[in-house]
Amino acid sequence: MRWIDDAQALHDEGVPFVLATLIECAGSAPREAGAKMIIPRTGNARGTIGGGVLEAAVIAASHTLLIHGGSEIFEYRYPQSGCGGGVKVFLEYVAPLRRLVIFGGGHIGHALASVMAQTSFHVRVIEERPQTLEKFDWPEGIEIVSLPFEQAAEALLQEENLVCVVAGFSAHQDTRILSALIPLQWRYLGVIGSRNKGERLREHLRAHAVCEERMERFFCPAGAEGIGNKLPGEIAISIAAQILAL
Give the bridge partners for 76, in sequence order: 87
Q: At residue 107, does pLDDT exceed 60?
A: yes
Residue 172 clears pLDDT 50, i.e. is over it: yes
Task: Tell me whether the omega of the peptide bond preceding residue 232 falls within 30 degrees of 0, making it cis.
Answer: no
Q: Please give the pLDDT value at position 82.
A: 55
Ranges 114-118, 170-174, 236-240: which has the least confidence: 170-174
Q: What's the confidence (pLDDT) of residue 29?
A: 67
- Point out the least confidently predicted range of 42-46, 118-122, 170-174, 213-217: 213-217
Q: Looking at residue 229, what is its pLDDT?
A: 64
User: What is d(CA 51, CA 62) in angstroms, rounded to the nearest whole number?
Assistant: 15
Which pLDDT band holds residue 108 (cuts at 50, 70, 90)?
very high
pLDDT at 89: 92
Give strand ranges (E) for 41-185: 46-47, 71-77, 86-94, 99-103, 122-126, 143-145, 162-166
Domains defined for the chain, CATH in brackets: 2-94 (no CATH), 99-244 (3.40.50.720)
Cα separation, 223 vs 164, whole angstroms? 12
Q: From CA 245, how far away is CA 53, in angstroms rounded?
A: 42
Would you give the DSSP letter of residue 176? H
Q: Is the pLDDT of residue 99 over 80?
A: yes
Report the C-alpha gap between 24 and 18 in whole angstroms. Answer: 18
Nearest C-alpha neighbor of 190 from the set 157, 224, 156: 224
- pTM here? 0.72
Q: 105 vs 15, which has greater pLDDT?
A: 105
Taking each helix axis as running N to C, give the angle between helix 232-244 and helix 107-116, from 0 to 180 degrees, rounded to the nearest 10.
50
Return d(Cα 3, Cα 150) in angstroms, integer: 35
- Per DSSP, the three-state class of 178 is helix
pLDDT value of residue 202: 87
Q: Does 81 score more than 50 pLDDT?
A: no
Top-confidence residue, 105 or 86: 105
When mean pLDDT is compared over 13-27, 177-191, 205-219, 224-238, the highest value belongs to: 177-191
Q: Which of 75-79, 162-166, 174-178, 237-241 shows the lowest per-residue confidence on average (mean pLDDT)?
A: 75-79
User: What residues contact residue 34 under an 8 Å CB cut-off, 6+ apart?
Assistant: 21, 22
**Residue range 68-93: average pLDDT?**
81
- How much is the mean pLDDT over the chain? 87
